[in-house]
Amino acid sequence: DAKTTQPNSMESNEEEPVHLPCNHSTISGTDYIHWYRQLPSQGPEYVIHGLTSNVNNRMASLAIAEDRKSSTLILHRATLRDAAVYYCILRRGNYGQNFVFGPGTRLSVLP
């Protein structure tokens, strides 16, 4: 699976939007972009995923660059509960394979 690059940490104020970037310049045509997050002392949890088009769900939005070499996870209104490590993961195909987690971005939300 291709590698992703994320900032080590980011800060946001509560109730403001947060844009978490991810670079994946070596992405292949069959790589899906997944975002997971890990709240303190918990297991990772699924946030969103996409292939080519932008995606929205109840938790977040995923904006994918036209060349697919980068993507941005958007939290529309950060809450204190959104403080977590956010992982951007590429996975080839969608066949139930494991995820390869990198160090992720540690998001702090300030009240």
Partner 1 sequence: EPEVTQTPSHQVTQMGQEVILRCVPISNHLYFYWYRQILGQKVEFLVSFYNNEISEKSEIFDDQFSVERPDGSNFTLKIRSTKLEDSAMYFCASTSGLNLYEQYFGPGTRLTVT
Site stretch for partner 1 (CB under 8 A), options 23-31, 58-66, 67-75, 86-94: 86-94
What is the number of alpha carbons within 13 Å of residue 39 lying toward its C-beta?
A: 8
Cα–Cα distance measured from residue 52 to residue 67, given in angstroms and rounded to the nearest whole number = 9
Task: Give me 1's structure tokens.
Answer: 């699976």
**Residue 96 C-beta: closest distance to partner 1, Å:** 4
Pick from 8, 29, 40, 42: which binds partner 1 (CB under 8 A)?
A: 42
CA dist 52 to 23, 36, 65, Å? Answer: 15, 18, 8
Q: Are 19 and 35 in contact (CB under 8 A)?
A: no
Our finding on whether 53 is near partner 1 (CB under 8 A) is: no
DSSP-based three-state secondary structure for 76: coil
Our finding on whether 92 is near partner 1 (CB under 8 A) is: no
Find how far residue 106's CA is from the centre of its chain: 11
Site string for partner 1, 1-40 (x = CB under 8 A): -------------------------------x-x---x--
Our finding on whether 43 is near partner 1 (CB under 8 A) is: yes
Residue closer to partner 1 by CB (options 10, 55) is 55
Binding site for partner 1 (CB under 8 A): 32, 34, 38, 42-46, 49, 87, 91, 94-104
